[in-house]
Amino acid sequence: DRRSFSYYKAIPVIEKFPTKIESVDQLKHLPGIGKSLTDHIQEIVTTGKLSKLEHFETDEKVRTISLFGEVWGIGPATALKLYEKGHRTLEDLKNEDSLTHAQRLGLKYFDDIRTRIPRHEVQEMEQLLQRVGEEVLPGADIVCGGSYRRGKPTCGDLDIVVTHPDGQSHKG
């Protein structure tokens, strides 16, 4: 339903908040954070949990839709449709004809995609990209951003920022 999608969209916004949330006032300006969600966040900040969600930990529908939503290319609407078709496991999805090529790849590489990348590997990739970038476009500055830039020990993906001081290289 609409409320579920609102929460689904708000979760990444909250997860990426740069500091510990100690008051809902910190979040009011963020997109997708309405009155209902603000009340729920207040309960979490105050008690450390949300009583309304405790049953979701054991609810098959919620767990299954959440699992399907972790597959690259499958959003909440598709996850719900797959559940309604009777699918309950990732193994079930392997024979689903309606999956797109991208979703099939997401399913095939599900475990690989979820595996976090150690910081030292990201550093090695950044150095390789810098060397190749210099060959392709001399003077290019290539750096890894995201969780790597923030000093995290592992990264979920590789965020790459490419710039060039000439101000022209981006023009085709």
Distances (CA, A) of 156 to 95, 111, 164: 28, 12, 26
* 69 Cα distance to chain centroid: 10
Considering the four listed CATH numbers 3.40.640.10, 3.30.9.10, 1.10.3720.10, 1.10.150.110, the one that applies to the domain covering 1-58 is: 1.10.150.110
Q: What length is written for the chain? A: 172
Query: In this predicted structure, what is the pLDDT of residue 172?
Result: 56
29 assigned to active site: no
* 1-58 against 59-115: fold identical: yes
pLDDT in tens, the chain (172 residues): 566 677 777 777 777 778 888 888 888 778 778 888 888 888 888 888 888 777 777 789 999 999 999 999 999 999 999 999 999 999 999 999 999 999 999 999 999 999 999 999 999 999 999 999 999 989 999 999 999 999 999 999 999 999 988 877 666 5
Please report which helix (H) or strand (E) contains residue 118, including its range: strand 117-118
Distances (CA, A) of 124 to 113, 116, 127: 19, 15, 5
Query: In this predicted structure, what is the pLDDT of residue 57?
Result: 72
Query: In this predicted structure, what is the pLDDT of residue 106?
Result: 96
Domain spanning 117-163, CATH class = alpha beta
Considering the four listed CATH numbers 1.10.150.20, 3.90.1150.10, 2.40.440.10, 1.10.10.10, the one that applies to the domain covering 59-115 is: 1.10.150.20
* Residue tagged active-site, from 29, 40, 55, 120: 40
Domain ranges of the chain: 1-58, 59-115, 117-163
Query: In this predicted structure, what is the pLDDT of residue 161?
Result: 93
Give the C-alpha separation, 114 to 103, whole Å: 14
